Every structure is written in structure tokens, then in C-alpha cells.
Structure 1
């Protein structure tokens, strides 16, 4: 899974906050980019996101309706894992991260490790 560009991330934010599948026009109306966007631009972004497997789509009449394929947290975890594996040295990347983690991040990691050991 590849990362998200700026506009892709904004489109995903719209989909993650939606309670129902959205058509291109719905996404366009909810996007807040600070600049006007063409319908075809949003349609292309959604098509690209579908190709990258970030979104699912289903036919609704003549149009598609889009939903996020994974939660924001699942995508974040997948991207972190991709960075780890692409580094060539997962252990060193993890150790460097642990050494540079904030106190809050360290607490989160400790809780997650304790939870994993008790499972």
C-alpha cells in the first residue's frame, strides 16, 4: 500500500467521517481544500484511491458510491509497517523510534506490549 498525497488525504478524511457511502458529488461538496476543485479531479482521486485499495466502491445506479476500505488507524498501522519493512533493518528502525519516542508514546507502547503479553 502506497502513501497518500495531500488531496488524497483530504478525500480520505471525508470518507472516514462519513456515516454512509458517498458519491463523487458528495465528496466534492464536503471537501475543504481552500480552492475550487473540478468534479473530474475528485473522481480521478477516488479512482486512484480505489486502485491503491484505500477505498471500496459499489455501483449505485449509473454512479459509484465510495467507502473507506480500512479505518484511519488501520491505514496508519499499515503505512508504519511498510516503512519498517522497506528500511532493510526493522530492528534498528524500531529501536531508534523507541529511543526517540515522547513520554506519551512510550506509555502507549508499554501498555500495548503488556496487553499483547496477556493475550
Structure 2
């Protein structure tokens, strides 16, 4: 009986992250062959093409005709993609309030402060009068 080592699987999303990193580092759109080369040739071109197609289907990259194939560009930077993923996960929740509360409870104090500053800035940027019960009586709102 021979001993065989189990096949090492990559962590979920590792290949997509590598392909996106290659696209972010590029000066312009890349073909699958260009991405393959940027990744050091360690992936088959068919694998790179499959990953790019999946990223396109997910709305993470755009593509344009380049000869008989396509050239790909990232739609968002890394931070934008992270925000999009966070929003996507939140949209899957029936109880958004609980999901947000648990997210906030796991933030570091530094991240919590950044989030507070961003929320305060967003409130100020909306302009107009505050809404809701904390807004107090509004002029012309009745007795």
C-alpha cells in the first residue's frame, strides 16, 4: 500500500484574488495570457480564462473585445470590491440589524472610530433637516 499525500486545495477565493491583484497592478486591460504571465505562468491559461469569466459574471471586472478574445479590467479597486462583498453578504440577511450589530461588535476600537467618523460625515453631507423622532417638531408640522 503506497502512501499518498492529500491534494492541497487553495483557500476559497485565492485564485480570484491573485487574478484581481494582477489586473489592479496593470496599466490597462489584460488578456488571459497577460494575466497568466503576470502570475508567473503558474496557472494554465484555461484556468485564468475561467476565473476571469467568473469575475466578469460577478460584476468584478469588465471586458472588451481584443482580437478573437477579450481583455479584462477591474471595475473597482480593492477597497471598493471589499465594500461590494460586504454589501452582498448583508443583502443575504433577513435580520440586517442583527448582522450589522454583530459586525460592529467585532470591530477594533480604531475601526469603530473610523466608522463613526464616516457615518457622521455622511449625515452632514446629506444636508437638510434630520428625520425621525429625534428631529423634534418641524415648522408648519401641525399643532
* Alignment TM-score, normalising by the size of structure 1: 0.85
Name the SS of the counterpart of 1:56 in structure 2: strand
Distance in structure 2 (CA, Å) of the matches to 1:108 and 1:16? 25
Gaps of 5+ in 1: none
How many correspondences in the alignment? 114
Answer 1 or 2: higher relative contact order, Cα 8 Å, separation at least 6.
1
Work out which of the residue numbers 29, 37, 50 in structure 1 matches 2:56. Answer: 50
Question: What is the aligned-residue RMSD (CA, Å)?
Answer: 1.7
Q: Could you tell me how far 1:49 is from its partner in structure 2?
A: 1.4
1:39 aligns with 2:39: no
Comparing both structures, which one devotes a greater share of its residues to helix?
A: 1
Q: Does structure 1 residue 8 correspond to structure 2 residue 31?
A: no
Pick one of 78, 87, 93 that aligns with 1:87: 93
TM-score, normalised with respect to structure 2: 0.72
- Which ranges in structure 2 are unaligned for 5 or more consecutive residues? 1-11, 126-143
Could you list the structure 1 runs, at least 4 aligned residues long, displaced by more than 3 angstroms after superposition.
none
Look at both structures and tell me which one has the larger radius of gyration over its CA atoms.
2
